[in-house]
């Protein structure tokens, strides 16, 4: 995938001038994301297009199951990259079926080159991990569920 440098610079300027944190543009099978990584340094990364759902409203509801009284969500406190393990190739902090206690580190979210340990706020069993290792996550996005 190749983009004209002037085109990328114009997109980066739009992000900066409009105080955006991220913008993704798609054109057929091409896509580009420009994300502000820090105060003034835009980061450009190509995006691999995925097949779009036929009805986005239905898909969003399916991704976030209704929370029951005994199901607690562990959410991302920031925008960043989700890491299931302390280092590449290392054993993950937790997996589905593991029992965790309050204060136990369950994953890392990297933001602005800082590794932030995410701790469970409840004790229980991990019933679902909602994101892939290395995946970008948003503020408030559910990372996993504990029952």
Tell me the pLDDT tens digit for each residue of 19-69: 777 777 776 667 777 776 654 444 455 555 455 455 444 444 444 444 445
We find that the CATH architecture of domain 70-146 is: Beta Barrel (2.40)
pLDDT at 14: 78
| Residue extents of the structural domains in the chain | 5-46, 70-146
Residue 22's DSSP bridge partners are 35
pTM strictly above 0.75: no
pLDDT at 62: 45
pLDDT at 8: 75
pLDDT at 69: 59
Q: Would you say residue 141 has pLDDT above 60?
A: yes
């Amino acid at each position: 995938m190749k983009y004209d440098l002037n085109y990328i610079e114009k997109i980066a300027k739009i992000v900066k001038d409009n105080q955006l944190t991220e913008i993704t543009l798609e054109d057929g099978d091409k896509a580009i994301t420009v994300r502000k990584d820090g105060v003034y340094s835009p980061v450009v990364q190509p995006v691999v297009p995925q097949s779009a759902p036929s009805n986005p409203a239905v898909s969003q509801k399916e991704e976030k199951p209704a929370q029951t009284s005994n199901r607690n969500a562990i959410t991302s406190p920031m925008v960043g990259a989700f890491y299931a393990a302390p280092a590449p190739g290392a054993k993950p902090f937790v997996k589905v079926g593991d029992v965790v206690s309050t204060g136990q580190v369950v994953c890392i979210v990297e933001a602005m080159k800082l590794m932030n340990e995410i701790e469970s706020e409840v004790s229980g069993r991990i019933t679902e991990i909602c994101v892939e290792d290395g995946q970008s996550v948003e503020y408030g996005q559910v990372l996993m569920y504990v029952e």
